[in-house]
Structure 1
Amino acid sequence: MLSNDGKCKTFDITADGYARAEAVVAIYLQKATDARRVYATVMNTVVNTDGYKPEGITYPNSNIQYQMLHEVYSNVGIDPRDVVYMEAHGTGTKTGDPEELAAIDRWFCKDRKIPLLIGSVKSNMGHSEPASGLCSIVKVLMAMENGVIPANLHFAIPNPMIPSLTEGRMRVVDKATPWNGGLVGINSFGFGGANSHVILRSNPKVKMSSVPGVVEPLLPKLVIVSGRTKEAVYVLLDKANEHRQDNEFLSLLHAVHSDNISGHNVRGYEILAQEDTREMAEANYDNKRPIWFLFSGMGAQWPGMGRELFDIETCQRSLRRCADILKNHDIDLMNIIMNGTDETYENVIIAFVSIVAIQIALVDMLTSIGIRPDGIVGHSVGELGCSYADGAFTLEQTILAAYYRGKSIADSNLEPGAMAVIDLKWDDAKKMCPPDIFPACHNSAHSVTISGPSISLNKFVEKLKSKDIFAKMIKCSGTAFHSKYVAPAESKLRTSLDMIITKPKQRSRKWISSSVPETAWNSPLAQFSST
């Protein structure tokens, strides 16, 4: 059965046996619903055996092979005429090739309008015996990936003992042949009479994206990977950059590294195609680190914020829902986001609804990709974002609470106010502030936000600067928030909140209040309110 010249001349008139080969092959099977990268789909498989044969144990049986083909296709209702390529067992033996192609001819070629393409990987690499069936599958998968069926080697003149070749019902792929994939049949036979067949359907390679293809390249892509060494992390990030337009590849990286991998104590990330964004750290990551959502308050607004979020379908949908609600209150959120200026955001209502709408969109986006917080904390109007992330408020309640918070301020005709952040300890700030200016927010050990009348606060800021103490004015729409100067708006806000939040929900433990002291977190007030 071995070829004299060390070649598998499969299907050729000179076929005289096979050349032996070695191979190590592993194939990963997954349910389609779990697969991150799909090369092909297994439509069906069947195995049968010849049983006793008077010619001897190694002699093939075309009739039993035909029964196998009939069973594997009939059981799943696949028309054999829909198969576009057949990867044969094709050893190049004098008896094996004619017997196999006789069965293939009977099953596949009846009423076929175009010749069936056939080939055998053994002509390329030899017969790897127990691994040969897997080698055939690998060949077909590579052909599917590259869109080209490799040439069947050592074929010049069809074997006259194979009528389907000489009469044109089959055609050997004897040169690299472009193709668009489809259904493929693969034969693999055993030495003692075992016959097996698998039907593969090629992956159409349509790479789904959550946003239209025309805007996909505009979106920054964050890739986070891990490894045992810095070199490994560098290689992965370099590969991510090389394939940055391949969403399937990036998705695979994300799937691999989304969970902690034992021993991977080097972590790195990069925003693809953005210079100087690669960072790396090495630490013991055996314990999962908590995820916190932090929501900013007034002062975070700027013209153009949220504009690029429209390129992300989830964010766009959330912003449009907010906009639809605000239309009833004569606010055009879409126009504000697309065309807003510094002057636009001086309006306290517009500032509040814009900040909160974007926070809602970001929460929805993170939730959609499976990122949920272990802890939540916010500042000022940012606590409305907390309420949404915590599930205490609906989207409608959250955006309306922002609207009425701003409206209660606007309708109260408050004294013009201002706010600033200064680098002082809390006690020092209380001592240094004039009587009409108040420390409003204790940001950190050496940072305090102060609030008060515009004229007085501006003078105090200049005084601090003259003493080389950092002080910076905050955009606050002319309102001295978190001070006695906003007290006249309280009753209006409470009436509005009672109207839109008829059944308050208790906050969860993961939402930490930045307004209520820790000693009072278990009080009834703190359970249903952040202020």
Structure 2
Amino acid sequence: MLRHVEWRDDSVLVASENNPPVRSLDDRTDVCQEPNPKLCVAFVGMGSQHPTMGRQLAEQYPLFLASIKENDRILMDVYGQPSLLDRTRLFIPGAECSLNPNGVWPLQDVILSFTYLQISLWDLIRSLGFRADFVLGTSVGEIAMGYASGHYDRTTAIGIATAFATTMSEVEGNGATIFVAVNACRARLVIDEVLLQAGMTSGLWISSFHSPHAVAIAGTRTLINAMSDFLSTSKAFSGVFSMVLPQLGCAFHTPLMEPIEKPFKAALEKIILDHKLDARSLEARVMSTVDGYWLNRPLDSDYFWDNVLRPTKFGEIVQNLAHEEGENIVLLEIAAHPAMKTCVEQCGVRYVGLIRRPAPDASVDVSNECLQVREAVHHLCNAGFRRELGVLE
């Protein structure tokens, strides 16, 4: 039984004609290919949110829906906030979500919904018999990371998400983010050129080092738009893929977040953080995308403020894992969509995604989150992971 879950629901999967038992995908004895694989679970930050995320899982898997509802109960009963489910209709089987279909939502709803989704996806994966050897998170994904690693419980995780959500609204719209498929050195050249053309000395920063060949750059909206225009017309950067990310409502991981330091830390200091400082009591080792190496400090208000202010080092962390673990490492991304697949593979690590959002240009929604989860289970088993039997049977 899950050690993290504070209630019990053994009916994790309901088999039917359309949803056969997960064990049907990996009941062969010769499925494992690697002798000692290591599982790294990555809780990637917001940006891939969409109105139907988790809906099919909530319809079919009672444990997933119960986890979502428990998150919402804690939000209301412990932290005095209005129900996310009632306000937005997210996750509720048969309900129509009230949020924008394009995923451009108020930051409060993005942060809370992403935390709900990642916690409940981990509860589901954990109940299927998989254990993480390592965990990491990027941006607000580090909230669920601390839950999955065993640093704190569900109630604390929802409290941290509440602190993020209530204070981030104060800087909503302070900037924008653009993804650029270049290395960090070339990204700095682009930043310098755009600032020079704008007659400014600051206002753009690398906010995330995704991989050796990709970064995210955040800054004021005017400068991000100028960068997008520059990249689309510059001969020196002809053919470089770039995309402004409208789903990110502020300039995370830049100095533009500094005005909320005091209220953010004050909100977090009301919560008991980092319950388990004894490494022997933790579920999995943590790689910090804030510090760029193994976590060796408390997940306290100072740590999470660094999470808000400093760039994430996702690519560096994944490369370090590849160097230390070699071909035995497999990364499972926990998010609403496999946003980091290419970046992970560029770092030399095998990748498994979980659920995917519907194709925006599809006339008919043929996505099936339940099949996608079973597909992920199949890939993990083929990589050499054996589920703990008896969890489902």
TM-score by length of 1: 0.46
Which consecutive aligned stretches of 4+ in structure 1 deviate over 3 angstroms post-superposition?
208-213, 216-223, 502-505, 520-531
Q: Distance in 2 between matches of 1:477 and 1:220?
A: 37
Deviations 1:445-474 (A, max 9, x none): 010011011121022112212233211122
Alignment of 1:288 onto 2:46: no
Confirm or deny: 8 A CA contact 1:516 1:526 kept in the other structure: no
- Among candidates 73, 84, 96, match of residue 332 of structure 1: 84
Aligned match of 1:462 in 220, 229, 232? 229
Residues 11 and 62 in structure 2, CA contact (< 8 A), matched pair in contact too: no
1:437 to 188, 204, 221: 204
Quote the offset at 1:522 in angstroms.
3.7
2:54 paired residue number: 306
Q: What count of residue pairs does the alignment treat as equivalent?
A: 268
Mark the CA change 1:340 to 1:376 in structure 2 (over 3 Å): closer, same or farther.
farther
Partner of 2:218: 451
Report the Cα distance in structure 2 between the residues aligned to 1:455 and 1:342, rounded to whole angstroms: 24
Find the counterpart in structure 2 of residue 386 from structure 1: 145
- Residue type of the alignment partner of 2:43: F
Q: Relative to 1, partners in 2 of residues 1:322 and 1:431: Cα closer, same or farther, differing over 3 Å?
A: same
Whole-angstrom distance in 1 between the partners of 2:161 and 2:182: 31
Deviations 1:161-219 (A, max 9, x none): xxxxxxxxxxxxxxxxxxxxxxxxxxxxxxxxxxxxxxxxxxxxxxx964556xx3443
Unpaired segments ≥5 residues, structure 1: 1-207, 224-249, 258-263, 268-282
Larger gyration radius, structure 1 or structure 2: 1
**What is the root-mean-square deviation in Å for CA atoms of aligned residues?**
2.9
Q: Residue 395 of structure 1 aligns with which residue? A: 154
**Using the alignment, how far apart are the partners of 1:475 and 1:415 within structure 2?**
10
Q: Distance in 2 between matches of 1:217 and 1:373?
A: 31
Corresponding residue to 1:428 among 165, 186, 193: 186
Q: Distance in 2 between matches of 1:393 and 1:385?
A: 10
Structure 2 residue identity aligned to 1:362: L
The reply on whether 1:480 has 2:251 as its aligned counterpart is yes
Contact (CA 8 Å) 2:207, 2:254: kept in 1 or not?
yes
Q: CA, structure 1 residues 217+292, in 2 after alignment: closer, same or farther (shift >3 Å)?
A: farther
Q: Secondary structure at the match of 1:405?
A: helix
By relative contact order (CA 8 Å, sep 6+), the higher-ranking structure is 2
Q: Is residue 321 of structure 1 aligned with residue 321 of structure 2?
A: no
SS at match of 1:294: strand
Q: 2:19 matched to which residue of 1?
A: 219
* Residues 1:525 and 1:356: Cα distance change in structure 2 (over 3 Å): closer
How many Å apart are 1:316 and its aligned residue? 0.8
Return the alpha-carbon distance in structure 2 between the equivalents of residues 490 and 220 of structure 1. 49
Q: 1:524 to 1:318 in 2, by over 3 A?
A: closer
Q: Residues 405, 528 of structure 1: CA spacing in aligned structure 2 closer, same or farther, 3 A cutoff? A: closer
Does the residue aligned with 1:337 lie in a helix, a strand or coil? coil
Higher strand share: 1
Per-residue deviation at 1:365?
A: 1.3
Q: Looking at secondary structure, tell me which structure has more helix per residue.
A: 2
Matched with 1:516 is 291
Are 2:116 and 1:357 equivalent residues in the alignment? yes
Query: What one-letter code is carried by the residue in structure 2 that aligns with 1:317?
Result: A
TM score, norm. by length of structure 2: 0.61
**Cα distance in structure 1, aligned partners of 2:210 and 2:273:** 33
**CA distance in structure 1 between the aligned counterparts of 2:298 and 2:118, rounded to whole angstroms:** 27
Q: Distance in 2 between matches of 1:218 and 1:333?
A: 27
Change in CA separation of 1:436 and 1:503 when aligned onto 2, cut-off 3 Å: closer
